[in-house]
Every structure is written in structure tokens, then in C-alpha cells.
Structure 1
Amino acid sequence: MAGTSWVLISSGAVAYAVLQLLPIGLVLNVGSGTGFAMVFALLLASIVWNLGTWYLGLPSSSSHTLIGSIIGVGLMNQMMNPGNANAAVDWSQALSVGKALLFSPLIGFGLAFALLMLLKTFVKAPELYAEPHGDKPPPFWVRSLLILTCTGVSFAHGSNDGQKGMGLIMLILIGTVPSAYALNRAVTQDETQSFVSVAHHASETLQKYAQGAAPVASARSEIERYIQSREATPTTMAALVQLTDSIGAQVANRPTLADVPEHEVNNVRNNMYLSSEALRLMEKDKKPAFRAEDSAVLGNYHGLLDKSTKFIPPWVKVAVAIALGLGTMVGWRRIVRTVGERIGKQHLTYAQGASAEVVAMLTIGAADRFGLPVSTTHVLSSGVAGSMVANGSGLQWSTVRSMLMAWVLTLPVSIALAAGLFWLLRHLF
């Protein structure tokens, strides 16, 4: 239950970091037939692969599956729209996410190995290095340690893996009920007026870097070009000024974001989303090089844009928390047996379990802090393997090979599944 609790207070950063992999054109048109084809392709591909690996008892990664599905949809969308830069996957974001998925299991293995070696060197308590004996409980202090480390892993798991489901649900809600979920209706009247003031200040700040460039015919098209090319010009800054002024004017006429008319909601959201993405990339690339005081102004504006568009309603968090808890209660046995009994040649000892759990908790927590999606399953499994090697227990290579095969196949299979489903559903819708 700890993991479900942490879902309720998660920030949503991981959810939207995953969604940033999607082509910008699909995100902006999530309510269209193409948008629905995208959502259903992502859901079906993820469900098929995750259920298949669960049935076989293989610790597969839902993170890998979802990311592979997003890449598959993006690739097929690009093939169906040749020459359209906005139909392509954001490969720079994909590389950033890929690094997190690749290195986190290696970190889990190495740190769990090192932690167990440290425990064996400095903690001389034989009961800590014993295997469980039937239904006999471990000593109280060992049991307390395991409860603490298990709770930590559960919290970290809920904070990271739970957010991926939130992102998909928000895509569906934005597409089906944009009047209620495209903009954050929880923003108060005072916050709305503050947003208008900050937007005006941001526009003046951006104008300094436009270098007198003339307004463009389509500000949104110029910003979409920049997001794909990452090449900022004075024209880009002028376009961003235009979008900022437009957003400020649209919001200023309403007491709160909840009062934006239904026919304007998608336009306001898309303008905000594009502006937020442009500012995020400019901050990441340090181009243009904003002065410190200007960077602070734009950072404040960027944060308010994200608060208005990249939010998770409380009921969505509750729904995901319940689903995460029920799924764990129903399907835990196959995966737990593989992780606890089939990775090493000997049963997991208390110290090994605690080491793997501490490392998994810290690794996943750090990834969540930076908004990076990682696989709880892979980090914990690699931590168990690292502790087995450190303890001299040896590895069951048949299980390790099966896990590696599932790990290697997840991306290509989910890419192919999602691409095929998107092609089919795109024609149906």
C-alpha cells in the first residue's frame, strides 16, 4: 500500500517527461481521430506485452514497453506523414530517457554488490545473512529493517511507475473532455491574475532577444519549427513574444482558467504547451544565452505554463493508486518467485534483500527527482543479481538469460506492436 500512497503525492514530472517523446503534432491534436488512434495503440501494445511477460513470470518493464510503444507510434506517424517535421519522434528526449533505462540496472547491480560487501565487512550479525526458514519469522530487528526497505521500494515504485499511467489517462481526458481537462481548472482567480502579469513581463523580456524581428504570419508554426530543429533565431523569439501576448490576452479576459470558453480551450492549451516546450529547450540548450535576471523571469513564466497544462487531477492519482495496488495484489506471486528464488542458486538472504531494496529505493527516487522514467523491476532484479554475486551465491543463468531476453525484446516488440496498431487504428478512425 505504500506505493499507492506515494502515487497520490507524486509531481507528474515523470508522466509528462514520457509524453514529451511523442511527436508534437500528435500531442497538439490529441482530440482528433489520429490522437485517439495514438492513445489506443499505446494502451493495447503495452497491455499485450506486459500481460504476456507476466504470464511467463518474467520481470518485464512497463517503462520499456510504454516508451517502445511511443517510439513505434512516432515512427509510424512519421512514415505516414513524410516531410512533416512535427510528425517525428523527439529523438533527443528519447536518448535522455534511453540512458536512464539503460544505466539504472547497471547502477542497481553495482551499488547492491558494494552495499552487501560493506554490510558483511562492518555488520557482524549472523542472523542478517541467514535464509528464511519456512514460515518462521526473522528476528524482530531484521523484520523491522526489511519492512523499512520494502516500504522505501514501494514508495519509489509508486512515485515513478505510477506516473506513466497518469500520463496516458491525461492524454485520453484532454482528447475526450478538453473543456474540463485541457487546462487546470484548479488555478484560482488570484493565480490567474498573477499569470497575466508574469506573461506580460515575460513578453517584455523575450522582446529584448527578438532584435527587432518583424512579427511572423504564423507564430505557432515558427515555434513548432524551433522545437524540431532546436535552432533559435530572432524570428523564433518574435514568434514566442506573439504567442505569449496571445496567451496573456486570452487569459486576461477571464476570471480563471475554468472560465475560458470551450471553443477557445484547445487553442489556449496548445499555445501554452508550445511556449512551455520552447522555453524548456532554450533553458536546456542555453541558447539563446539569457541574462540571469531574464532567465529568472522566463523560468517563473515557464513554471506557470506547466502548472496550467501539465497537471494531474487528484481523482486520476487515486484511480492509478488503486489500480497499482490491485494489480500488485493479484499478480505478485509469479514475479516475486522469479526475483526471490530464481535469480540466484541460493535463496535470497535478509541482507541481500535489504541491500537490493535500499539501492532500488535510492536509484528510483533519484530518477523521480529529475523526472526520468526508470524500471523498478529491472533496478530491483539487477540489485538482487548484484547481491548474489557479492555473496558468492551464484546466478541461475537460465533465469538471467530469460530476463535479458525479455529486456532486449521489449523495445523492438513494443515498437512493432504499437506501429502496427497505430497504422490499423489510424485507418479505422
Structure 2
Amino acid sequence: MDAAFVGLVVIILVALAFDYTNGFHDAANAIAVAVSTKALTPRVALALAAVMNLIGALLSTEVAKTVGSGIIDPPEGSGGLEIVFAALIGAITWNMITWYFGLPSSSSHALIGGLVGSALAAAHSVQWMGILDKVVVPMIVSPLVGFGLGYLFMLALLWSFRRAHVSKANRGFRYAQIASSATMALGHGIQDAQKTMGIMTLALFTAGEIDTFEVPFWVVLSAAAAISAGTYAGGFRIMRTMGRRIIQLTPTGGFAAQTVASGVMVTTATVFAVPVSTTHITTTSIMGVGATRRLSAVRWGVAGNIVVAWIVTLPAAGAVAAVAYFITDFFVG
């Protein structure tokens, strides 16, 4: 068994570990709101999210192709495997730091930042226009869309149910939140599991195990299983931030935020094939819904801390990945 094959196996395992951390890091995106409004208990919500993440991950591979071949030029040989390995270390490290502090940062941008950081450290070419089109623009636009649609959809619901009995309406929207939570988890699976699939396929292509950048079915299945298992493991620290600290939502508001966020996630993955952050979209949808009460109802201080984590994620994960590359290259090279 040669060293290159061993390196490839290690990268596949590390990629699945990242996928697992992505699952428990971002589990809150799908279920925090439903739990905070008491539509679902935490464990039932996690189980629902895990199943729907698994299904969502099996539905498409377009985002995987974007991440694997549209951020950096596919590297070759053992040096290329070092780049992929360092990118994963950077992303996992940043995920664990933000999880520890309960900050819902973007696992997607941590992975992309890791790829860019390790590529730059290796003096490997980066597709800057691809990053602009597929990462930077969606990173700016998608949260604004989430906020705007969350605000408008909530206004539409408030107007449509303005004469409804409050307790009956809340009971109905709690049931509706089960469906919206499931759709959220489906969208998360479509988006986030594919990013790991892209990295695994990039590693296989770099090692010469596949000739074209097509995602093998076993890669799809293993990534889907890993993110599903991670989701069920939960992310209770981040759940508290998403479900309560930004704003305390009603069942109607929870349904509105989840419906908007899931719609944006599924559309960007299936129509535009861009790797948007499920965390960004979910958070801004919640903020948009909350702003329909009054702007002061949103805890902007907490929201500000989250935005800082968003901004820092790409360079921070990139810096850790660069250090990981230098260390790996020192010992392997």
C-alpha cells in the first residue's frame, strides 16, 4: 500500500469528520426555531432533521461540482492532497472554535476559506472570479434576500390571519412548523453535504482515482450518512443562540422564517448551483421576521456578533489552513 493511497484514505476520513461537525454545528439551523416555539422537542426535532438531511444530500451534486472544481484549480499528485488535507483541517478547526463559543458561523465558508488558504500557502492557483461569482456575491446577496423575504412573508401571514383566534392560529402554526423544519433540513442536506462531496471528489481526482469530475455514488452516500449522524448528535450551544438570543419567535414567526430560509437554500442549490451559507440565510430570515414587530425587537448586539463571525470566517479558516499546509508539507515533503 503506497503513501499516496494512505494519504487519500486519511483525507476521505477527515472530510467525513468535517461533514459530521458540519451536521452538529448546523443542526440548529433546521430545528432551533421549532424547538424554541415548542413545536417539537429537541430530540424529535434532531431525529427529523437527521432523516431529512440524509434525503436532501441524495438529491443533487451540482453544488459539489462547484466547490470541488470552481474554487481552486484541481491540484495534482501528493502536493495536491496536502492542499486538500490542510483545507479540511482549517475548516474543522474553525467549526470547533465557533461551536465552542456558540456562534452560528458558516461551515461552508470555513471550507472555502480553508481551500483558498491552503492553495495560497502552496502557491497554487485560485479561481478568483469563481470565488467572486460563486462565493462573495451569494454571501452578500443571500442574507439580504433572507431578511427581505422573511419580513415580507411575515407581513403577509399577519395580514392573512389578522382576524384569526390567536391560540388557534398558534396551534396550527406549531403543526406547520413540523413541515417547515423538515423542509429546512432537506435544504441543509442539499447544500451542506454536497460541499463535503466536492472535497472528497477533488481528492479522488487529485489522486488519479477518477478521470472526470463526477461525484461517485459511494461519496454521495457516505457524505449523506456523516452529515445525518452529525445532525442527530445536535448542536445545543448554537441552538440557544438561533432560537432565543436573536429574538423570541412565535409559532407563526418560526414558520415564516423556516419557510423562507428553506426556499432560498433549495433554489440556490438546484437552480444556481452556488454554495450559500445555510447559517447566514436562516439567521437573517429570523431577523427579518422579528423586524415586523419593531426593529428594537431584534437583539442587534447578538446579531452583530454573528455578523463579525461571518466576516472573520473566510480569512480565519484560510489562515489555519495555511499553517496546516506548512506543517504538513514540512513533515511529508
In the TM superposition, what are the counterparts of 1:362-381 in structure 2 within 5 Å? 362-369=263-270, 370-381=272-283
Structure 1 residue 428: Cα displacement: 2.6
* Equivalent residue, structure 2, for 1:323: 226
Residue 43 and residue 112 in structure 1: after superposition, are their counterparts in 2 closer, same or farther (change >3 A)?
same
- CA drift at 1:171: 2.5
Q: How far did 1:23 drift?
A: 3.7
The normalised TM-score by structure 1 is 0.61
| Candidates 77, 89, 100, aligned match of 2:138 | 100
Q: 1:153 to 1:329 in 2, by over 3 A?
A: same
Structure 2 match to 1:174: 205
1:14 corresponds to which residue? 63
- For 1:366, the aligned partner's letter is T
Is residue 85 of structure 2 the alignment partner of residue 40 of structure 1? yes
Query: What is the CA-CA distance between 1:60 and the residue it aligns to?
Result: 0.9
SS in 1 for 2:122: helix
Give the percent of matched residue pairs that are identical in Structure 1 and Structure 2.
33
> What does the per-residue CA deviation read over 1:346-380, in whole Å, with 9 as the maximum and x for residues that have no partner?
x2111111111111111111111211000111100
* C-alpha distance in structure 2 between counterparts of 1:52 and 1:331, whole Å: 16
Between the aligned partners of 2:72 and 2:213, the Cα distance in structure 1 is 17
Match of 2:257, as an amino acid?
Answer: A
Q: Cα offset for 1:99? A: 0.5
Secondary structure of the corresponding residue to residue 373 of structure 1? coil
Q: Matches of 1:170 and 1:142 in 2, distance apart? A: 41
Is 1:424 aligned with 2:327?
yes
Q: CA deviation at 1:28?
A: 4.4
8 Å contact kept, 1:116–1:391: no
Distance 1:126-1:52 versus aligned 2 partners, 3 A rule = farther
Distance of aligned partners of 1:374 and 1:129 in 2 relative to their CA distance in 1, 3 Å threshold: farther
Rounded Cα–Cα distance in structure 2 between residues aligned with 1:311 and 1:123: 48
Correspondence 1:262-277 to 2 at 5 A: 269=211
Measured against aligned partners, the alpha-carbon deviations of 1:179-225 in whole angstroms (never above 9, x if no partner) come to: xx40xxxxxxxxxxxxxxxxxxxxxxxxxxxxxxxxxxxxxxxxxxx
Are 1:143 and 2:174 counterparts? yes
SS at match of 2:233: helix
Verify the 8 A CA contact 1:18 1:164 in the aligned structure 2.
yes
Matched, 1:64 2:109: yes
Distance of 2:177 and 2:65 partners within structure 1: 33
8 Å contact 1:128–1:350 — kept in the other structure?
no
**How many angstroms does 1:173 deviate by?**
3.1
Q: Which runs of 4+ in 1 moved over 6 A?
A: none
In the alignment, does 2:286 pair up with 1:384? yes
RMSD of aligned residue pairs (Cα, Å): 1.9
CA distance in 1, matches of 2:106, 2:320: 16
Which of these residues, 107, 115, 127, is aligned with residue 166 of structure 2? 127
CA distance in 1, matches of 2:215, 2:126: 24
Q: Distance in 1 between matches of 2:175 and 2:240?
A: 22
Give TM-score, length-normalised by structure 2. 0.78
Deviations 1:302-357 (A, max 9, x none): xxxxxxx232222222221221122112232122211110002xx21111111111
SS at match of 1:57: coil
Distance 1:128 1:405, change over 3 A: farther
Cα offsets for 1:228-247 (capped at 9, x unmatched)? xxxxxxxxxxxxxxxxxxxx
Q: Alpha carbons of 1:398 and 1:5: their partners in 2 closer, same or farther (altered >3 Å)?
A: same
**Quick check: 2:246–2:303 contact (8 Å CA) kept in 1?**
yes
The secondary structure found in structure 1 opposite 2:291 is: helix
Kept in 2: contact 1:128–1:351 (CA 8 A)? no
State the number of aligned residues. 278
By how many angstroms is 1:143 displaced?
Answer: 3.2
Distance 1:46 1:129 in 2: 45
1:155 has 2:186 as partner: yes
Amino acid corresponding to residue 323 of structure 2 in structure 1: G
Q: Is the 8 Å Cα contact of residues 71 and 112 (structure 2) preserved in structure 1? A: no
Whole-Å separation in 1 of the counterparts to 2:161 and 2:150 = 16
Pairing 1:344-359 to 2, within 5 Å after superposition: 344=247, 347-359=248-260
**Aligned partners of 2:190 and 2:269 also within 8 Å:** yes
Q: Aligned partners of 1:42 and 1:114: how far apart in 2?
A: 39
Largest Rg, 1 or 2: 1
How many Å separate the matches in 1 of 2:167 and 2:307? 30
Contact 1:22 1:74 in 2 (8 A): no
2:202 touches 2:213 (CA, 8 Å); kept in 1? no
Q: Distance in 2 between matches of 1:395 and 1:143?
A: 22
Residue 273 of structure 1 is matched in structure 2 by: none
Q: Which one-letter code corresponds to 2:285 in the other structure? A: G
| SS state at 2:275 partner | coil
CA distance in 2, matches of 1:56, 1:128: 36
CA distance in 2 between partners of 1:54 and 1:41 (Å): 20
Instruction: Report the counterpart of residue 206 of structure 1 in structure 2.
Output: none
